[in-house]
Amino acid sequence: MKLLPLFKISLRSILGNKLRSFLTMLGIIIGVASVIVLISIGQGSNKQVESQINQLGTNLITISVYGGDESLSMDDFEKLSGIDGVESASPTISGRLNVNKDNQSGQVTMIGTNEAYKDIRNLDVAQGRFITDLDVELYQKVVVLGSDTAANYFSGGNPVGETLRIEGVSYKVIGVLASKGTSMGQSGDDVIILPLTTAQRVSKNTSINTVLLQAESENLLNAVMMRAQVDMSTILPNGEDSYSVNNQQDLMETMSSVTETFTLLLAGIAGISLLVGGIGIMNIMLVSVSERTREIGIRKAIGAKRADIVWQFMIEAITLSALGGLMGVALGLAGAKLFSVTAGMTIAYSVPVIGMAFLFSLLVGIVFGILPAIKASMLRPIEALKFE
């Protein structure tokens, strides 16, 4: 039994019915392309989430206090920042303040913090300087602007040295941050940053909302987090439900789990198209057996064995699914790229996934080609020759 002649016969049969062959392969094409596009989008989204989380800072532990009457003081902050393995720490308060400059006014997100905040959050200063601990100690009326805030209130000019009124009081602009974009659904550019003490005074709030701790290394992250949890249980013994201690790894694992589950769900739905395509192949192959009954009878009459007939139709089914798989791969790669360009989303191609999608399309051809092939091989020569 020679496979090359059988392959030529199968290819001649496929090319002889181009439209029918294409329609037969359409389910495989759509299935493979859908799997590649959806997996690429899902993995790209996962990488984008990881990138956004990493933008928040490295080796970062976030201690947040919310609701109720519980709050943190500077003494509490000093205790937390003194944990072994903490490289730097930053207390922060946040809120919304009224800002105006000439005829431009509105509310902007305010962050009150210290000098360490810049390095912990991986911020870059595009113009001027960042706030210093001396600004905090002297209650200085100075402000650092996010890139969007600077553009909105100073029309794209250099605002360093200019004044901005916050809650009716003039503040000197000492710096402008480089754009950070949107991270975790929140803009990092539409903000104003004040020295902690100044922010507490202008917002009439002396409590600390959040403490950021940066561990010396990734290896110490869990140890620092556990110590922070112990300290928080002593600082707020009756407020277990009013605070949280989280690190980047926890957040990343949670977000990755969500995106992976969603991606697998979409891939499973797309995989159904492959099964539908396989049913289409089986249907067309059964029709092909009926149409070529006399041909089968002649081949068996001149000595073709059952295995030869089985292989003839199996190769034809596999060739159909292989061609459909290759077209699906090409369409999937192009579709994912097109989606990335038009939607502005990150995509990530996965060679193993592309290979698995193609191999699955071959498997579909084998599985759904068996029944028609067996049916063809079981035809008796005399009955096949009489068929019209």
DSSP states of 299-325 = HHHTT--HHHHHHHHHHHHHHHHHHHH
**Which pLDDT tens digit goes with each residue over 299-344?**
667 777 777 777 777 787 888 888 888 998 999 899 888 888 887 7
pLDDT band at 287 (very low <50, low <70, confident <90, very high): confident
Rg (CA), the chain: 33
Q: Comparing C-alpha atoms, which of 195, 178, 86, 192 is closest to residue 132?
A: 195
Q: Comparing C-alpha atoms, which of 312, 315, 313, 318 is closest to residue 363?
A: 318
The answer to whether 193 and 143 have CB atoms below 8 angstroms apart is yes
Output the pLDDT for position 141: 95
Average pLDDT over residues 74-91: 91
Which residue intervals of 56-179 are DSSP H helices?
A: 74-81, 117-120, 133-137, 147-154
Output the pLDDT for position 53: 62
The answer to whether 179 and 189 have CB atoms below 8 angstroms apart is yes
Output the pLDDT for position 57: 59
pLDDT band at 366 (very low <50, low <70, confident <90, very high): confident
Output the pLDDT for position 17: 77
Strand 191-195 and strand 104-113: the pairing is parallel
- Rounded Cα distance between 366 and 363, Å, is 5
Token couple for 174? 């000492």
- Rounded Cα distance between 316 and 102, Å, is 77
Mean pLDDT of the chain: 82
Give me the residue spans of the domains in the chain: 3-52+254-386, 87-211
Consecutive H or E run containing 164: strand 163-166
Output the pLDDT for position 165: 92
DSSP code, position 326: H
pLDDT, greater one: 210 or 38: 210
Q: What is the largest CA-CA distance in the chain?
A: 106
Average pLDDT over residues 144-156: 89
Output the pLDDT for position 127: 93
Average pLDDT over residues 101-125: 90
Average pLDDT over residues 69-78: 85
